[in-house]
Amino acid sequence: MYQAKPPNNALAASLILIASAFVALTTLMAKALGSQEYGVPLHPLQISHGRFLFAFLALSSAAAILRPALERPNWGLHIARTSCGWGGITLMFASVQFIPLAVATAISFLNPVFAMMLAIPLLGEKVGRVRWSAAGFAFVGALILLRPTPESFEPAALLALSAAMIMGLELIFIKKLAGREAPFQILLVNNLIGFCIASIAVIPVWQAPSAAQWGLLAALGGCMAVAQTCFVNAMARADASFVAPFSYATLIFAALYDVAFYGVVPDAVSVLGAAVIVAGAVLLAVREARLKTVVPQSHTDQ
């Protein structure tokens, strides 16, 4: 039976910051793989396949060395969670081929908002004024980033928005899995299933990568394995409401990578939209933390 880790907020925050840097790095490499920098651009489905292939190889190698105790997994929850994760990350990789990393990352931060909305029918949760206000705030930020005018609208931003919706659903399944299995087992099963799904999906678009592209795919998968390991271990050591705000550092890393590798400096509209989304998401996280520590007298302000 899985034994919970002792709480350690400082370690959890550090692990999330490390995970954020690596997650932003994976989107940077996905952008490079989808360009002509290292050969014929790879399809997002092939980039996603490489991500799961090499992440699974890294984790299975670690399992062969460490030989952790494994229990029977809940295959239904794992398959549902991983299907959403595969779909979300594939759309995210597709979006960064057309829009800046920072913009795509900011839009992806809508996933806890979508998770909150989906928790109503799927988990029977009640949502009141404060949490709806936080969600509305975040959606205003998304509208700013989407720039819905004929002159400035970015259709590719809808890919990032769709990714956020699907990853919001993934959070529901992660919530159902939380505390049921050991973090390493969750990672190993997740990447095994993801590799199987991605291997089937990539068949119609497969092309032989160049040597440089193979190297980038391996690095992308390795970075994702590190990020996932840090994230799952952070979640095992602190409440999700405490951990969530630190994950927004991903936006900072994405913006820095954009500037360093592509010379893309976020404009005022992008900064404003990202700030509004993060503010809404932080408000939602703070409210979730209060709901865990205070027993409400009524549900009118949840």
pLDDT at 242: 72
Show Cβ contacts of residue 208 under 8 Å, excluding neighbours closer than 6 positions: none
One-letter identity of residue 255: A
pLDDT at 151: 59
SS3 26: helix
pLDDT at 295: 41
Q: In Å, what is the CA distance from 53 to each residue of 31, 212, 230? A: 18, 17, 19
pLDDT at 25: 96
Q: How far apart are CA 248 and CA 101, in angstroms?
A: 13
pLDDT at 270: 83
SS (H, E, C) 97-130: CCCCHHHHHHHHCCHHHHHHHHHHHHHCCCCCHH
HSE-CB of 257 using CA atoms within 13 angstroms: 26
Q: How far apart are CA 198 and CA 50, in angstroms?
A: 8
If the chain, 302 residues long, is cut into consecutive pieces of 10 residues, what is the mean pLDDT of each piece? 68 90 95 93 97 96 88 92 95 92 86 82 77 80 74 78 91 79 87 97 96 97 93 78 76 90 86 83 70 46 38
For the record, the structure tokens of 235 come out as 């979640």
Phi-psi region of 39 (alpha: psi -120 to 50; beta: other; left: phi over 0): left
